[in-house]
Structure 1
Amino acid sequence: MGDPIREAALLDAARKEAGAPKPVADFVHLHLHSAYSLSEGAIKTGKLKDLCLAAGMPAVAVTDTNNLFGALEVSDTLAAAGLQPIPGLQLSLASDVKGARPPAIVLLAQSEAGFRRLMRLSSRAYLASASPDYVAAALSWFPDEGTEGLICLSGGFDGPLDQLFRLDRGDEAMALAARLAELFPNRFYVELQRHPSRRARPVESDLVGAADDLGLPVVATNEPFFPKADDYEAHDALLCIAEGAYVHQEDRRAVTRDHYFKSASEMRALFADLPEAIDATIEIARRCAYRPRTRQPILPRFTKEAARAGAGDDGLEAEARELERQAREGLKTRLASGALAAAEADYWDR
């Protein structure tokens, strides 16, 4: 039996060589790290746009680690190219597992309310963390913050469910899955990733079993960190630089050569036995209908002062007078507070 992934890649190449129109992909990436996943992701915004267009992928979710730094840039760039940007976040959760990176879930914004929750959760995680090297949210925040407008994926290999199953803490994993399903009613998906070269105990059967037992849907992701498989070595060096490690070290963070932006046909071949996991990506993309947009700053106006002075309705003249008044009062206070290095008139002339 041949390699289905290689066959899918060959089919894509043959279609391109024949000049056949690119079909609309029946898979979208919902867990992807851009270059804004600092010292971790290596996909720039412009490159992401090109990858989506080349793959015929109508939508993509950018889920950078604990931040939304690139959300607006990604939104404007992809939308201008006719693509659907799905704002998201990979949010780390506090864990009792010592010496390990905190596990993370993936949150996708369905609406403006959901995006506002992403912003609050990201900010709160940074403010509540004692060290910038360990940023993590608490699951107990979600009842207060609310989850409406958010879709949650379990996080894949670095997610809390995978981590607990690998540690043979299956009961805790089941309890956590049930809790996430409760927090995100009809909006929680068990995330499956297939990277065969991972040197860790596979837990996909545990994840699928948990989904079946709890009546939860599954979704397939590949979690791309770099554009093409050939970029693996350069990305591996990036991770080493970020951690102050060496390439030959065994006890360091590493991803696999398969963590690239795979095509829809490659992903469908990879999950040929679980087509519903691929179909779920399109379902989720259709459930998301919001993107952040560029807008002018919203600044206060001195409308009461403008009305008293008889200025125009926009209050621009009043604002200018108010700024001048505050500047003069501030300078007067500074001049009275200490010795001058020049004549007082020189300060006023400036």
Structure 2
Amino acid sequence: AQRGIHIDLAQLPFDDPATYAMLARGETVGVFQVESVGMRKALVEMKADRIEDLIALVALYRPGPMDNIPTYCRRKLGLEDPTYLHPGMEPYLRETHGIIVYQEQVMQVAQALSGYSLGEADLLRRAMGKKIKAEMDAQRDRFVKGAIENKIKKETASEIFDLLAKFADYGFNKSHAAAYAVVAFQTAYLKANYPVEFLAASMTLDMGNTDKLSEFRRDAERLGIKVERPAINQSGVEFDVADGKIFYALGAIKGVGRAAVESLVAARQVAGPFRDLADLARRIDTRLVNRRTLEALIAAGALDELEADRARAVAALDGMLALSNRTRDEAAAGQFDLLGGGVVQEAFRIPQVEPWAPAEKLKREHEAVGFFLSGHPLDDYEHVLKRLRVQRYADFSQTVRVNGTGVGKVAVSVIDKSERRTKSGSKMGIVNLSDPSGQFEAVLFSEGLMRYRDLLEPGRALVLRLSAVLDGEEVRPRIEDVEVLDDLASRQKQDLLIYLRDDKAVPSIAERIRPRGEASRSDGKVSIVMILDDGAQEVEIELPGKYPVSQQVANAVRAAPGVVSVELR
């Protein structure tokens, strides 16, 4: 609607090349009926290029018939010739390359080869589905007799009956499959031709499901679509689209409540964007927008444009709520002049507080959003992870899907851990983990749980050795070994670069780094990089001696007031 495009789903062209190209790549996150890993794999193998392929896939993708999917794909691509027990079967099975897929095909073959009426053919279908011996024997006699009258050999007729009986048990109603396939095509068409709008609408549909939101967000990134963090002056209650980007919904932030964000968006629409925290405080209704709401908005980054330091924003909450209440009281008393003067125009002082460490900032963001949106706790370890040659979980799981099993090392951040008893009475651990490619669960059993329980605490950065097997469409990872990522990183020689615009931060930096009297082999250099002339030039000054350089030291320095950025290399 924003782009002035009206789409009539009933008029979509079933020969759209972009849609079939997307399906052939298996890019079906959010596409009705064909989202599963198995469906994606089948679409890639099939190279679907017509609606009939989608109808057949819907009918075949069930226990039993799905064994015929590889044959269907080979025959469709011309790698194998279709076979028919009798030429008279070809007109009815040509569409599905000689494979009996639909109940209607069973009925059509019986009509053509054995002279069944339409009513008789339906009775045949029902008898084959029930597998009652007396009915089947009667139907076999009727089928073979009719086939012989059509000059088909008795042996061939019996063989055809057996083939029909085998597939009739699995046969799917084509009209039912077609209805599903049409909706699958319609959603695929929308994603292929309007991916930004499609993903935004899908995220709004699943606004309460953080796992799905995370999946859609990763899919958007893969497609080169930017998902902007929630922002108080840009985001709507639901997911919005502008300039080819998706703006994260305020209503998708945990703990805010729809009524609260609706009131915020309404206030913005009435009087324009919020200018600062004081302006926000004067314009909110604390009966709807309470401390919990504001804390969640801050943690999710929705107030970053009003106060970039989230720790300062949280520290300002007492002042904001007090100002908001005074504003409401004054409004109730009618104490306003034409310019809106009076008590409500006062501001408040924000207490001086230390900024949150990057890990703390991301932890709170995860709690508010349900996944890491603006970054990931492992981002700071990128250079170390390259040296350690660990995999991303998405790559590891893909290997398992191909091979059916696998072993590999994956760096993770622990989200949560629970324990339960197995049927045998022993304890097992279920650990919710995250890396930059997504979230997943892994298990470990009694011996491993006893050995690694203390390491598997929320917030810890670890390197895991995983084993996994493919169970149906699900990868089932098991934790075999656990190492602390900081311990591994400390054994790697690292240098620290600290970027400054002036020397005001130097005393704070000096408190956070300490040179060693006797250098260790894992110690590194520390350099101050001065940014001069508004970034036109940089001057690097290496500090004398060796320093214990680690991610914790880097995080501590990054939190020092006046530090522009910190880099490990």
TM over 0.5: no
Higher-Rg structure is: 2
TM-score (norm 2): 0.15
Higher relative contact order, structure no. (Cα contacts within 8 Å, ≥ 6 residues apart)? 1
TM-score (norm 1): 0.21
Greater strand share, 1 or 2? 2
